[in-house]
Amino acid sequence: MKTEFEIIEKFFNKKAIKAHKGIGDDAALIEKDGKTFWAISTDMLNEKVHFMPNTDPYKLGWKAMAVNVSDLLAMGASPMFALLSIALPKSNSDWLKKFSKGFFECGKKYNVELIGGDTTKGPLTINVTILGDVNKKNILLRSNAKIGDDIWVTGELGLAALGLKIIQKKINAPSTITKKSINALEKPKPNMLIIEKIKPFCNAAIDVSDGFISDLNHILIASKVGAHIFLKDVPMNKWIRKTEKEDLALYGGDDYQTILTAPKKMRSKIEKLLQKNNLELSRVGIITKDKKLHLSNNDKTIKLKKGYIHFEKN
């Protein structure tokens, strides 16, 4: 089986004709008026692939909305409207009550209004399409990182991946970390405020859904540049670092944090905004001319593993 990226590339990757930006970014962009684009994106959650059977329906509802919000934020866009398509094996009022509560609570947090969808019978599948808009001056394309840009990341990485390992009983962690990481996995909270504040100073962005290294690579390939990342600056929980589980932060998926790049000359402006608003944003590296991803720890090069992929290669 090919990877999901090879499938898209081979069978679906058509050039945009009417859209400003089609396939290949976190959302498509369509002309709205002279100053603004519509941003539109869709994401699907499948039982046993993206969530375990018996996942708390409230959290599932929250996550279905949150992962879509994350893609719009990564374009610099403000989320506005959503469509919800859902296939259900059976009608279970208790489940639906909790699911819809989570879905709407997340929608309220990010100002998203549900305006339509589809409901069918079938294996549990949840698909949300999200629509928002973005001032043309603020768009954050994967393809717009520039040589010399600082690379920034919101929040902390690796918690969701740790949560998954704990649920799978592959890792044992102290109870506070356990609670925090399972919550990060099941109830992601994209950092809208940070992106709102700093997007006027940024060039490129992507959200971290597949894993930091894997998603940073999408920026590098689209922008035809490389990067140098300093492991000590990659934001992660102290326990993850202390127990040498940095790979969770580098390769683990489902963080729904955002990677942004911004010109070096914007650094002091961004740092002032962070201090003033008490925002959690870390500068983790620089964009380079050499088209390679270089990771180092105190001047020592660290060999990269392959990022997480949804489909097995053969």
Does 43 help bind Mg ion (rule: CB under 5 A)? no
- Is 49 buried (19+), middle (13-18) or exposed (0-12) by CB count in 10 A? exposed
Helix, strand or coil, per DSSP, at residue 114: strand
Contact pick of 191, 209, 217, 258 for ligand ADP (by CB under 6 A): 209
φ and ψ of 139, to 5 deg: -65, 140
Could you tell me which residues are beta bridge partners of residue 52? none
By CB under 6 A, residue 307 contacts ligand ADP: no
The interface region with Mg ion, picked from 68-76, 113-121, 172-180, 290-298 by CB under 5 A, is: 68-76
Nearer to ligand ADP, 24 or 307 (CB): 24
Plot region of 41 (φ>0 → left; ψ -120 to 50 → alpha; else → beta): beta
Smallest separation (angstroms) from ligand ADP to the CB of 88: 23
255 makes contact with Mg ion (CB under 5 A): no
Instruction: Give ∠ CA 208-8-223 in degrees, rounded to 5.
Output: 55
| Residue (71 or 171) nearer to ligand ADP, CB | 71
Binding marks (x or -) toward ligand ADP, 210..249, rule CB under 6 A? ----------------------------------------
The residue number with the shortest CB distance to ligand ADP is 12
203 versus 209: smaller Cβ distance to ligand ADP: 209
- Ramachandran sector of residue 178 (left: φ over 0; alpha: ψ -120 to 50; beta: rest): alpha
24 binding ligand ADP? (CB under 6 A): yes
Residues 180-219 that bind Mg ion (CB under 5 A): 207
Cα dihedral 190→192→198→201 (10° resolution): 80
Pinpoint the alpha helices (H) of the chain.
Answer: 4-7, 57-73, 93-109, 159-167, 175-186, 192-198, 212-223, 238-242, 246-251, 267-277
Tokens 């520039």 map to which residue? 146
Please, what is the minimum distance in Å from the beta carbon of residue 280 to ligand ADP?
22
Q: Which residues bind to ligand ADP, rule: CB under 6 A?
A: 8, 12, 23-26, 43, 71, 209
Q: Which residues bind to Mg ion, rule: CB under 5 A?
A: 26, 71, 207
